[in-house]
């Protein structure tokens, strides 16, 4: 039974209410989530400054010990350096920089003196381009004060947080959405299965649910991979061999972003159906800016949804 995908006459009103709900949350809680991340990021920047003697010595030994500091160092230059710009200026391999940037680790193959040569190139660029308006002590002989370090760390932290503002907000919103699902399910005597309980998605007890569960799927060609699903719910009335219901929690603060990402859900449901058949029930839990173009695309793929402002629609799935 379709819940919302077959009711386009309701979409316009629901879109308006969903946007209002998201905006209300954003105004109340997004600044708090951003500030919390900025406080921790400031501490991380201060640790990087301490390790590099306040940016006066970005030595290979430092980068070896703190490869995770690279993103901070990139934001310490004038202008701040994008990953690809640093690679070009330093003349180092992209795999080295991207491993340090994304995985926060050193390369596996490149070692010893050869690695130090590459790290020295990165350090030279950072030292040469360090922002003199932030790190005012670099051009003088007097010692650095704690106030100066704190001020510089706050500025760099703002740069870092500004570059990842959307993920910070999206992660906070996802946590809130999953908490809303948890409250709704537990109010109806559903029990959460912890990921550490080693229970597979297709052997979950009746009346149970789990978050961020890995579900194995087969790709064309036979290779098997795990795909994460935000919420997996086994109805109390499920029959033997019946699969649980899958939900993806989706939030968005603008229309453009969702239409760029709308194929992600279609790809995921295609993989699930290819592996487990057309009986797979894959749905969305939406809050925010999802326009009729997005909804129409998902509906055409057979993907249904529940609006967070009408969370009681979950009952229509037999929950």
pLDDT along the chain (319 residues), means of 10: 87 91 84 80 90 90 91 90 90 90 86 91 92 87 87 87 73 89 94 73 86 84 83 88 89 77 83 86 92 90 92 91
pLDDT score at 248: 92
Name every residue whose Cβ is closer than 8 Å to that of residue 227 and which is 6 or more positions away in sequence: 214, 215, 216, 217, 268, 271, 272
pLDDT score at 63: 92
By the 8 A CB rule, do 293 and 299 touch?
Answer: no
User: Domain limits of the chain?
Assistant: 8-29+166-317, 55-143
Q: Which residues on adjacent β-strands are paired with residue 227?
A: 215
DSSP 243: P
| CATH number belonging to the domain at 55-143, selected among 2.40.50, 1.10.1740, 1.10.357, 1.10.260 | 1.10.260
Structure tokens at 32: 């708090």
Using the CB atoms, write b or e for 224-261: b if 16+ within 10 Å: eeeeebbbbbbbeebeeeebbbbbbbbbbbeeeebbee
Give, in degrees to the nearest 5, the angle at Cα 318 between 298 and 187. 105
Name every residue whose Cβ is closer than 8 Å to that of residue 59 and which is 6 or more positions away in sequence: 52, 120, 123
What is the architecture of the domain spanning 8-29+166-317? Answer: 3-Layer(aba) Sandwich (3.40)
pLDDT score at 195: 67
CA-CA distance, 78 to 81, in Å (whole number)?
8
Nearest residue to 109 (alpha-carbon basis) of 123, 99, 124, 120: 99
């Amino acid at each position: 039974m379709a819940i919302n995908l077959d009711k386009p006459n309701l979409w316009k009103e629901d879109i308006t209410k969903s946007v209002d709900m998201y905006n209300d949350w954003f105004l109340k809680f997004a600044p708090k989530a951003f500030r919390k991340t900025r406080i921790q990021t400031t501490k991380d920047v201060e640790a990087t400054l301490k390790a590099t003697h306040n940016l006066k010595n970005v030595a290979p030994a430092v980068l070896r010990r703190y490869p995770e500091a690279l993103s901070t160092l990139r934001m310490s230059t004038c202008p701040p350096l994008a990953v690809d710009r640093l690679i070009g200026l330093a003349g180092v391999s992209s795999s080295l920089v991207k491993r340090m940037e994304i995985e926060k680790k050193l390369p596996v193959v490149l070692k010893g003196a050869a690695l130090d040569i590459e790290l020295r190139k990165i350090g030279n660029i950072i030292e040469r381009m360090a922002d003199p308006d932030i790190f005012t002590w670099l051009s003088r002989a007097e010692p650095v004060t704690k106030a100066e370090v704190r001020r510089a760390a706050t500025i760099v932290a703002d740069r870092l947080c500004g570059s990842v503002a959307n993920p910070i907000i999206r992660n906070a919103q996802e946590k809130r959405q999953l908490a809303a699902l948890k409250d709704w399910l537990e109010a109806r005597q559903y029990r959460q299965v912890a990921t550490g309980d080693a229970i597979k998605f297709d052997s979950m007890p009746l009346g149970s649910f789990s978050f961020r569960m890995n579900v194995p799927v087969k790709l064309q060609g036979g290779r098997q991979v795990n795909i994460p699903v935000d919420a997996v719910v086994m109805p109390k009335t499920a029959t033997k061999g019946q699969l649980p219901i899958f939900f993806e929690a989706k939030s968005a603060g603008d229309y453009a972003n969702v239409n760029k990402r709308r194929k992600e859900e279609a790809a995921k449901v295609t993989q699930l159906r290819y592996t487990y058949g057309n009986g797979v029930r894959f749905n969305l839990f939406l809050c925010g800016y999802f326009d009729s173009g997005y909804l129409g695309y998902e509906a055409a793929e057979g993907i249904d949804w529940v609006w967070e402002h009408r969370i009681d629609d979950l009952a229509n799935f037999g929950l």
